[in-house]
Amino acid sequence: MIMVNNQGHNYSKALSYGRKLLKLAQASSQKEWLATANNFIAVSFHGLEQDDSALYYINRCIPYLTEVSPQGRVIILDNIGYLNMNNNQQVAMKYLRQAAAIGPSVDTYDNMAKILARQGHEQQADSLWNLALGKCNIEQKCQIIKNIQQHKNKTGQQQEANRLGTWLLNLSDSLSAEQKTNKVEVLQNDFENQTAQTQTNNHSQRLELWIMALTVVLIVASFSWMYKEKGTAKKQKKQQSIIDEKNQIIQDLKTQKDQSERELAHKSELIDNMMKKRMENLKQGETLFDEIMHGGTICSWTKEELLYFLDFYLSKNKELQRAIARKYKVDLSSKQKFFLCLVHAGLANPEIARVMGVAIPTLRNIRYKLRMNESGDRTHHVYES
């Protein structure tokens, strides 16, 4: 539960579970549990931006490191190095080297590279960053490249920063496409499940009416039979049993109906939340558009921010969106769509290059790729040559 809530950015709840685990560890005197609990609490405090508390708890793990398994020890050592990085680089590097000796992770290389870069050891830092990039997935790679780009910008290596920005944008496009595919599949499955549930509910309601009608008939028949018989107590008891059974059926049907109503209310709430999220995304996209039109760039944007911009601009300019769909035979990347939006907004080539953080030849390459993807229908004008 701690890991699930930390990954879902619900750090307050993760912190409460971490403290419960710490109490259990203290009661049992399990040193590995003590190290694990203190590590989880430190991660939660870092997520809450309370780095002093995070540093206190992560350093409490140090006496118990020898009791932790090698894989778990590397994770804790990486966190000790990361959280000590700003206060004591010597201590941070000491524990990161211990992690590297056991079996370095992506975080081990990345954290060591950050420290070496701050100390001016550019070549060593670049070497470690290259090792990290060779071991990570696309999402981790985007974060590491963003860290490198920020360092290059700070040290005045603008050409290298621009190259990394182009690489980061391409990786972001790939990651966005992958996440978009996964999201479409999830939404499709949800839609199919909701459709099936709706059909089941409708069938249940019709079945409920039939059962209720049948129950009434059976109850009337039962009473009629009972009064006609006026038999022994045994027969009366049997009739009462039938009535109780039918009443239970009615109660069960009412319970099913209440459950269906709760499910419908829950789905309505989900739809409202989705609409609210959509409006928030459009508002964010509008803010980013204003930023671009007032001299901003996308060099530090995340993949989500680029998608917010495109969602806002294309929803505001439906004719451009339709023209893109008709003119190109494939689904364009986010970068290509962003380029077309800037052209549509009236920006000149030098301004577009500055906004995108690329050189003029790169713009020509983008235009060339766009022409190669044209469907052959040239009646729908998207950008000037």
Q: Which residues of the chain have pLDDT under 50?
A: 379-380, 384-385
What integer pLDDT is reported at residue 197 of this predicted model? 79
Identity of residue 58: I
**N- to C-terminal Cα separation, the chain:** 56
Contact 11, 54 (CB under 8 A): no
Q: State how far the alpha carbon of 218 is from the alpha carbons of 18, 209, 223, 235, 269, in Å.
A: 58, 14, 9, 16, 40
User: Does the global pTM surpass 0.85?
Assistant: no
- pLDDT value for 58: 92
Is residue 7 packed enough to be buried (19+ CB in 10 Å), middle (13-18) or exposed (0-12)? exposed
CA distance 320 to 339: 12
Q: What's residue 1's pLDDT?
A: 77
pLDDT at 385: 37
